[in-house]
Amino acid sequence: MTYLRTITDPVAKLGGVGPAATRSYAELGIHTQSELLLLAPRTWEDRSTVRPLGSVQDGQVANTLVEVVSHSYFGLKKGMKRTLKIIVRDVSGLGDGRLSLLCFGRNFLEKTIKPGRIYYLWAPVAIKGSEKQAVQFELHPATEDGDFPPQFGKILPVYPLRGSLTQRLIRANIRQVLTRCGAFINELPESLMKELDLLSTDEAIRTYHFPPNLQQLARARRTLAFTELFYLQLVARRKPRKKPAKPAIPGALELRLIERLPFALTNDQLAALKEIREDLGTEEPMNRLLQGDVGSGKTLVGWISALKIIAEGGQVAFMAPTELLARQHAESGAALLEPLGVRLAFLTGSVKPKERSYLLTALQRGEIDLLVGTHALFSESVTFRNLRYVIIDEQHRFGVEQRLALLGKATEPHLLLMTATPIPRTLSLTVFGSLNISTLRTMPPGRKPVITLLVKEESRPRMYKSVGVEFTRGHQAYFIYPRIDDSGQSDLRDVAGMYEFLKQQYPGVPSALIHSKLDEDEKVAILEAYRKGELSYLVSTSVVEVGIDIPNATCMIIEHADRFGLAALHQLRGRVGRSALQSYCFLVFSDELTEEAKKRLQVMKDSTDGFHIAEQDLIIRGPGELTGRAQSGYLNLAFASLSDDLELIEQARAASDRILQVDSGFLAPENTIIRSVLSEAPPFEAGRSEA
């Protein structure tokens, strides 16, 4: 007996898996045999029902019993190779019709597939004129007793492929694991299985890959998806929430800062601050997500909320994903907070050793109230005297493991996560089950929505003219180039070419080229000059870092916009429209757009609402993208779909709540299985592929 997720034997040990296949499996995030079992088929091919030749339409698949009628040849002209054509007729008894099998490069079939013989046929059919043809086909000799050969009468899984993998190999490997491993330990309490009409774990995984019929397949998938969601809920909701002690009022420091601001806080900012303040007033560590579209003013909420802890003598860490962004935060934070007497310091990987050791000593002595930086903040050498509050900016890729790690800590600091990438509703019901959410829905007043224009190649000249007009008004622009190859070489060449080209377009307009190969110091200097308005535009390879805040920039030009995902486009566009000035976003695209890219660009043109865009992103990319282990930025779910399984999520939530209420230690005999699964094989941690 084994758990579904604990077979750690490598796939390399399976039949037919050499070094190439091992590498290809690794590309799918599959290293162990358990991970192979968790590979979800893209779809299933239904070969369980007969589809006679007479009734198949163009593009459909024939699945039936046939007799070989005759051989003929085509391509008889001089100099051409002749090709065998096998004519078959339907003898299934369920229909009639004929089909021509075109045997390109397979004339040898004339020796084996002889007239008069009976075969099971599976073939995608094309209709050319009055003839039904198939180029790709499978024929299997009919057995004496009329039994279906193994490939027929079945529903076959179709897996995602990489490199040297074939359907045949994956199917065989999965069968091999399923045959060898013995029965799987059941992962759900009996009563739940009964109530929800679910299969045992063992039956479910076997049925899922090789289902006898579509009904059983649905049941198997439901079982596996429910199991994942159920355990996820159990963990996420295990910690009871205490009610806040008393509504907290803003402290003196907070009020002084708010008075000094040149603008009023939005109602959403005030509401978020109140929620955070109340959380910070309880013993229970805060777990709060502050979500708000780009430019909604999250950073300021972070700063103000920190003052409560600082006033009480605690220390605060403010972490940003990149060095540039951390520096920007440190500067804006210092400008706001130092006049109030807050002692702020900046720490990243590039701080020089001497300065660093000085800083670390001060931190340990409690002479620093607020430390701003990158993930270097949490390296081992950094010890706080009294760290009570951690703020993490742009944390939209929050892994469940990190989250669980934090939940498990004894002296857990308060935690505020700030993100512009909203959490889909379904997801907020699961892993963020015990995470509270504050939302900034409204933008600071006076902002004009960014005008988004889709620009074809031939409309470039007009675009350059419009941007030029913005320069004459003293406004600034970003020109963005996508990352094209991993080495970065060709990007660099392209973007350098673009930079030269723009210099000719805008003679005498000061500009700079910024890319990932530059030193951190150079990047900082360029950005500083840009911030001061000494440069009118930046040409940049990868992303102008998320979160960069330069209100005077009004133009965002994105080259090859079709190569960016919606989330990235939205982030980039968010770099403009940060003041009362009218801003523009130009999405330049090439002529050959895929359907998906077309849809994406249209969504960008039609909407500036980050929540709407995130939703559309889910719809366009489809649930597969989110649930696929490799793609998911959030969770390692193999079977459940966060966009499609809302009903299952709710059922799992209800079931887990019920169990937690009566037996939170999982002590009842029926529930001991939960304890073992949680400690030995939790369903959402499988798959070590980095997202």
CB of 415 to Mg ion, least distance (A): 17
| Of residues 118 and 271, the one with the C-beta less far from ligand ADP | 271
Please choose which of ligand ADP, Mg ion, none residue 186 contacts, taking the beta carbon within 5 to 8 angstroms, the exact cut-off set by kind.
Answer: none
CB of 581 to ligand ADP, least distance (A): 12
| Of residues 296 and 348, the one with the C-beta less far from ligand ADP | 296
CB of 578 to ligand ADP, least distance (A): 5
Please choose which of ligand ADP, Mg ion, none residue 651 contacts, taking the beta carbon within 5 to 8 angstroms, the exact cut-off set by kind.
Answer: none
CA separation for the pair 607, 536 (Å, rounded): 27
DSSP state of 39: P
HSE, side-chain direction, 13 A CA sphere, residue 384: 23
Please choose which of Mg ion, ligand ADP, none residue 636 contacts, taking the beta carbon within 5 to 8 angstroms, the exact cut-off set by kind.
Answer: none
574 touching Mg ion, by CB under 5 A: no
| Of residues 39 and 423, the one with the C-beta less far from Mg ion | 423
User: Quick one: which of 126, 152, 120, 157 has its CA closest to 139?
Assistant: 120
| Of residues 275 and 645, the one with the C-beta less far from ligand ADP | 275
Q: Provide the mask over 295-324, with x wherever binding to Mg ion is found by CB under 5 A and - wherever it is not.
A: ----x-------------------------
Please choose which of ligand ADP, Mg ion, none residue 422 contacts, taking the beta carbon within 5 to 8 angstroms, the exact cut-off set by kind.
Answer: none
- Amino acid in the structure at residue 218: A
CB of 13 to ligand ADP, least distance (A): 49
CA separation for the pair 197, 203 (Å, rounded): 13
Query: Which residues make Cβ contacts (< 8 Å) with residue 546, sequence separation at least 6?
Result: 321, 322, 325, 394, 420, 571
Among positions 536-565, residues that touch Mg ion (CB under 5 A) are 547
DSSP state of 13: G
| Of residues 299 and 348, the one with the C-beta less far from Mg ion | 299
| Angle at CA of residue 56, ends 53 and 57, nearest 5° | 140
| Of residues 209 and 298, the one with the C-beta less far from Mg ion | 298
CB of 548 to Mg ion, least distance (A): 9
Please choose which of Mg ion, ligand ADP, none residue 453 contacts, taking the beta carbon within 5 to 8 angstroms, the exact cut-off set by kind.
Answer: none
Query: Which residues make Cβ contacts (< 8 Å) with residue 50, sequence separation at least 6?
Result: 63, 64, 65, 92, 94
- Amino acid in the structure at residue 64: T
Please choose which of ligand ADP, Mg ion, none residue 297 contacts, taking the beta carbon within 5 to 8 angstroms, the exact cut-off set by kind.
Answer: ligand ADP
CB of 341 to ligand ADP, least distance (A): 21
List alpha helices for 338-429, DSSP H.
353-364, 400-408, 425-428
Binding site for ligand ADP (CB under 6 A): 263, 265-266, 269, 292, 294-300, 420, 444, 547, 549, 551, 578
| Of residues 92 and 266, the one with the C-beta less far from ligand ADP | 266
CA separation for the pair 182, 465 (Å, rounded): 70
| Of residues 585 and 674, the one with the C-beta less far from ligand ADP | 585
**Checking phi first, is residue 38 left (phi over 0); if not, alpha (psi -120 to 50) or beta?**
alpha
CB of 336 to ligand ADP, least distance (A): 9
Helix (H) or strand (E) holding 203: helix 201-209
CB of 296 to ligand ADP, least distance (A): 4
- E strand spans, 137-213: 138-141, 155-158
Entry field: residues in the chain: 691
Say how far residue 97 (Cα) sits from the centre of its chain: 47
Please report, for the chain, how many H helices and E strands are present, in that order: 23, 22
CA separation for the pair 384, 407 (Å, rounded): 20
Which residues are paired to 140 by β-bridges? 120
Please choose which of Mg ion, ligand ADP, none residue 222 contacts, taking the beta carbon within 5 to 8 angstroms, the exact cut-off set by kind.
Answer: none
CB of 263 to Mg ion, least distance (A): 17
| Of residues 193 and 440, the one with the C-beta less far from ligand ADP | 440
Binding site for Mg ion (CB under 5 A): 299, 547
